[in-house]
């Protein structure tokens, strides 16, 4: 990457309301609206049939405590308030696309409870308002006050954007004022144990132009790691703990050194990518090239050495964290859904710094594989952990595999991933489209209608990711810029049926267009085998099957024994008949391979006898929807 490529704020994102989805994206947005948002509302209200969460009751009790009324105890995890933020954010995005009076009323009611739980000085966190007020801001390492504030700030921005209502925005501006006084005016040392508020403050700054937001975001980003021993000193000064986190594990919360000097993605993966997102956001907003370079190094560390083929990150259960380079085991993968979501955030913010196809490629990789794998087809079960291999009897059972469940559990009372997925999916338009003057960027192939702030309009039609023709009708646009994914070996462009050869730069095609033009993009989505670097020792000599952005997997539901089978990468890949248990339009792939005969002895001198067989693969994101069985992404090769 050359210096010249660094451009301050390459493009402007669109508001969520600008994109009306249909097709593949539309069906997932519908699932969020129909199943996930109502379900989480019931969970947060502790309704019958759900696991107790205490989210609503915490806000109610905090309000009572502030008014001096009798009240109940705080319930749940120290970061329980953040669930309210994530739900409100998903609701806001959903309302932006599809107005819904009942839902808006439910959101307004929650916002009233939140407002009533805010202290006179602007402080807002139910855990330390209901009781333990003396513990406010004493344990930044563990107490998640800044993290919860961040999620509520994001919710406030989203709700204001969607409904024009300022109530939550004003509440959170007062909260920001409180934090600003503490950390800037009063000079309280420290930075968030769990980054999140940085990116939230950047969102709020863009909406409100309140300079305190920018200043605070910059402060938290720049002070991080300046004093690596900060948490040790903090711990020495207080005498309470949430989980007994190790204050000297600098890597866990990315505080071993100032962020501008960091070169390797380490520690808790969600914390890491939330931090990097805030950094990239600040870099594009302020033109801070040094900070962008740090982001770029951390990006390279992830995508070149620590990224699963499924777009998952954070390979180890120990600390839900990044491991060392090339340690990407398939069967013990952690690969948290939230971490893949955070990687999408980071990728998108990088794109705002630099127009390069790799960012969109990674957004797709994470979205179509790990993020969607997190959600059961009926919207009622969720994977937090996304292994690339499941073995009945071992996955979820062996001590090293307890975290790799073979079936999606329901929504937990303490849930990070499901509401995170809900807000991501319902705001996907923001990641798909952007504008810069009279140029419109299409980062993702998202079927639907888009109305830009400039008045330009675009109508995208596609059955992507199962079909690779994408057509656009445009008006008010001079240049249509389309990302060309790295896997498309031969890409064709047509304007009103006539082939054209646009300029392609850094993975984007720039196509001059006129009103009412029909632009057709034909990607090469031929199914392909993918081979891992030999440095990933755990999958040496294996192969994965992919089609377009989709990673495929081989599951017991379609095959007699995937662990005993190997694929012939030289034979033809064809489409198999659809499975009625999977949604309409899902393409199953068929490949040739061999299956070995059962060997009774643990170890035998006889080479296993192999028989020809047909093997069938489905998209990785859909595994585990047809009963509990074995699943493998990385297959042995014949």
Q: Which stretch binds a second copy (CB under 8 A): 255-263, 285-293, 388-396, 445-453?
A: 388-396
Nearest distance, CB of residue 324 and a second copy, angstroms: 5
Footprint of a second copy on 212-241 (CB under 8 A) = none
305 near a second copy, rule: CB under 8 A? yes
The yes or no reply on residue 243 touching a second copy (CB under 8 A) is no
148 is catalytic: no
In this structure, the strands spanning 631-632 and 389-390 are antiparallel
Q: Is the peptide bond between 465 and the residue preceding it cis, with omega within 30 degrees of 0?
A: yes
Reported for 250-257, long-range contacts at CB under 8 A and 24+ positions apart, including other chains, are 250/225, 251/321, 252/319, 252/321, 253/141, 253/193, 253/194, 253/195, 254/195, 254/224, 254/225, 255/191, 255/224, 255/225, 255/228, 255/230, 255/231, 256/225, 256/228, 257/225, 257/228
Active-site hit among 161, 320, 364, 555? 320
Q: Work out whether 518 is an interface residue with a second copy (CB under 8 A).
A: no
Selection from 411, 402, 416, 339 nearest residue 381 by Cα: 411
Active site residue 320: yes
1 binds a second copy (CB under 8 A): no
Q: Which of 49, 70, 209, 318 touches a second copy by CB under 8 A?
A: 318
Of 54-62, 175-183, 293-301, 319-327, the window that binds a second copy (rule: CB under 8 A) is: 319-327
Enclosing H/E stretch for 505 = strand 503-505
| Widest CA span in the chain | 79
Closest CA to 261 of 306, 227, 217, 295: 295
Residues in the chain: 638
Choice between 280 and 362, CB closer to a second copy: 362
State the binding string over 595-624 for a second copy (x if CB under 8 A, else -): -x-xxxxxxxxxxx----------------
Instruction: Given the residues 157, 213, 416, 442, select the one marked as catalytic.
Output: 416
Q: How far is the CB of 568 from a second copy (least distance, A)?
A: 12
Q: Which stretch binds a second copy (CB under 8 A): 162-170, 173-181, 190-198, 313-321?
A: 313-321
Contacts of 436 (CB under 8 A, 6+ apart): 10, 11, 12
**C-beta of 426: minimal distance to a second copy in Å?**
30
CA distance to 22, 248, 377, 378, per residue, from 27 (Å): 7, 46, 11, 11
3-class state of residue 499 by DSSP? strand
Coil, helix or strand at residue 199? helix
244 is an interface residue for a second copy by CB under 8 A: no
The answer to whether 352 touches 280, Cβ cutoff 8 Å, is: yes
Binding-site member from 324, 438, 503, 512 for a second copy (CB under 8 A): 324
Site string for a second copy, 411-440 (x = CB under 8 A): ------------------------------
Binding residues for a second copy, rule: CB under 8 A, are: 303-305, 307, 309, 316-319, 321, 323-327, 329, 331-332, 389, 391, 393-394, 397-401, 487, 489, 528-538, 540-541, 544, 561, 563-564, 566, 569, 596, 598-608, 636-637
> Catalytic site residues?
320, 416
């Amino acid at each position: 990457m050359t210096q010249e490529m660094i451009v301050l704020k390459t493009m402007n994102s669109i508001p969520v309301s600008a994109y009306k989805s249909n097709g593949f994206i539309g069906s997932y947005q519908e699932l969020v609206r129909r199943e996930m948002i109502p379900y989480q509302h019931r969970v947060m209200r502790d309704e019958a049939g759900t696991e107790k969460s205490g989210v609503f009751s915490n806000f109610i009790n905090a309000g009572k405590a502030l008014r001096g009324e009798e009240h109940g105890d705080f319930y749940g995890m120290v970061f329980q308030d953040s669930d309210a933020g994530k739900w409100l954010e998903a609701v806001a995005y959903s309302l932006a696309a599809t107005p819904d009076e009942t839902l808006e009323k439910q959101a307004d009611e929650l916002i009233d409870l939140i407002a009533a739980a805010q202290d006179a000085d602007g402080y807002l966190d139910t855990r330390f308002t209901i009781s333990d007020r003396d513990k406010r801001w004493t344990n930044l390492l563990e107490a998640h006050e800044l993290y919860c504030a961040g999620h509520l700030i994001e919710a406030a921005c989203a709700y204001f954007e969607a409904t024009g209502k300022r109530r939550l925005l004003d509440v959170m501006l007062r909260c920001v004022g409180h934090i600003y006084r503490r950390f800037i005016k009063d000079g309280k040392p420290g930075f968030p144990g769990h980054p999140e508020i940085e990116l939230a403050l950047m969102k709020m700054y863009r909406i409100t132009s309140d300079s305190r937001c920018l200043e605070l975001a910059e402060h938290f980003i720049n002070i991080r790691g300046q004093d690596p021993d900060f948490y040790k000193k903090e711990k020495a000064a207080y005498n309470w703990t949430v989980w007994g986190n190790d204050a000297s594990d600098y890597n866990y919360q990315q505080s071993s050194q100032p962020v501008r000097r960091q070169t390797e993605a380490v520690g808790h993966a969600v914390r890491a990518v939330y931090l990097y997102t805030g950094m990239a956001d600040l870099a594009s907003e302020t033109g801070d090239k040094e900070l962008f370079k740090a982001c770029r190094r951390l990006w390279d560390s992830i995508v070149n050495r620590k990224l699963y083929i499924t777009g998952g990150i954070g390979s180890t259960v120990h600390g839900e964290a990044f491991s060392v380079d090339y340690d990407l085991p398939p069967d013990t993968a952690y690969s948290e859904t939230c971490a893949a979501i955070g990687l999408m955030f980071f990728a998108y913010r990088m794109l705002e710094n630099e127009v390069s196809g790799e960012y969109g490629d990674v957004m797709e990789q994470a979205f179509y594989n790990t993020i969607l794998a997190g959600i059961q087809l009926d919207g009622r079960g969720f994977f937090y952990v996304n292994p690339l291999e499941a073995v009945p009897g071992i996955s979820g059972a062996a001590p090293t595999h307890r975290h790799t469940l073979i079936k999606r559990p329901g929504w937990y009372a303490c849930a990070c991933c499901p509401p995170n997925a809900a807000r991501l999916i319902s705001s996907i338009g923001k990641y798909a489209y952007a504008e810069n003057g009279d140029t419109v960027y299409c980062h993702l192939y998202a079927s639907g209608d888009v109305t830009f702030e400039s008045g330009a309009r675009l109508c995208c039609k596609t059955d992507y990711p199962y079909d690779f023709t994408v057509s656009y009708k445009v008006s008010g646009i001079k240049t249509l810029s389309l990302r060309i994914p790295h896997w498309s070996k031969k890409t064709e462009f047509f304007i009103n049926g006539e082939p054209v050869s646009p300029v392609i730069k850094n993975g984007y095609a720039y196509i001059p267009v006129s009103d009412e033009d029909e632009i057709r993009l034909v990607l090469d989505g031929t199914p392909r085998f993918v081979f891992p670097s030999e440095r990933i020792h755990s999958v040496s000599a294996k192969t994965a099957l992919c089609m377009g952005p989709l990673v495929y997997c081989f599951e017991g539901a379609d095959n007699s024994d995937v662990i005993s089978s190997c694929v012939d990468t030289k034979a033809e890949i064809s489409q198999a008949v659809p499975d009625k248990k999977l949604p309409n339009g899902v393409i199953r792939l068929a490949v040739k391979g061999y299956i070995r005969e059962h060997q009774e002895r643990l170890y035998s001198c006889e080479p296993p006898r192999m028989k020809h067989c047909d093997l069938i693969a489905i998209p990785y994101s859909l595994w585990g929807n047809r009963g509990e069985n074995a699943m493998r992404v990385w297959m042995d090769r014949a």
